[in-house]
Amino acid sequence: MSTVFYRTENSLSTVKNDVKHTVKSSLIDGTKGLSFSFLEKKADKFYKVSAKQMEDGSFDVKEKKDDKEDKKTMKEADVMKMVKKDKNLKFVDDYVSKERKKYLKGGKRKSKKSSKKSSKRKATKKSSKRKSSKKAKRSSRKKASKKKASKKKSSKKKASRKKASKKKASKKKASKRKSSKKRASRK
């Protein structure tokens, strides 16, 4: 996996007297190395320089001026000489001479290899924690739903008891009426 720890891109396009002028520059620095490019277009004139650092530390440099294209493989020292000579590549010279040291300290780190057993243990601990927390959540949900259900049941029971007691009361009243009517008819 590559890590980029510095990236800058600039683009400027202007039109003067119906002539478009474009200047683009970019610089990327990471664990795979340094790469930069510069492009300038002005009407029919075209100039592009791009360089990419290879794994062995050398640079692949492509330079295109109008229709002429030139490819070279250069050492880092030669590339830096070329950068210092070309005023358009000042942004590369500034970064390499002033800022790059700051980023290299934090950028290129060796990864520590841990044993497989410890990583497996950590993974099982994490998964067991996840499982236990999920179980706890589920059980608390179940308890809450049981409480709600028991409240509903108890309220239903109370309502049915009230209905039953009302029915009994109405039956008693009806039976009292009947008995009072029977008594009245006997007399």
Distance CA 41, CA 132 (A): 64
Q: What is the mean pLDDT of residues 151-168?
A: 66
Could you give the CA distance from residue 10 to residue 33 in angstroms, rounded to a whole number? 20
Name the pTM for this structure. Answer: 0.53
**Residues β-bridged to residue 28:** 7, 35
Q: With a cut of 70, say whether residue 112 has pLDDT above it.
A: no
For residues 45 and 172, which has the higher predicted lDDT (pLDDT)? 45
Q: How confident is the model at residue 130 (pLDDT cuts 50, 70, 90)?
A: low
The first and second tokens of residue 9, run together, are: 């891109």
Residue percentage of the chain with pLDDT more than 70: 56
Give me the half-sphere count of Cα atoms (radius 13 Å) on the Cβ side of residue 136.
Answer: 6
**Per-residue pLDDT tens digits for 23-47:** 999 999 988 889 999 999 998 899 9
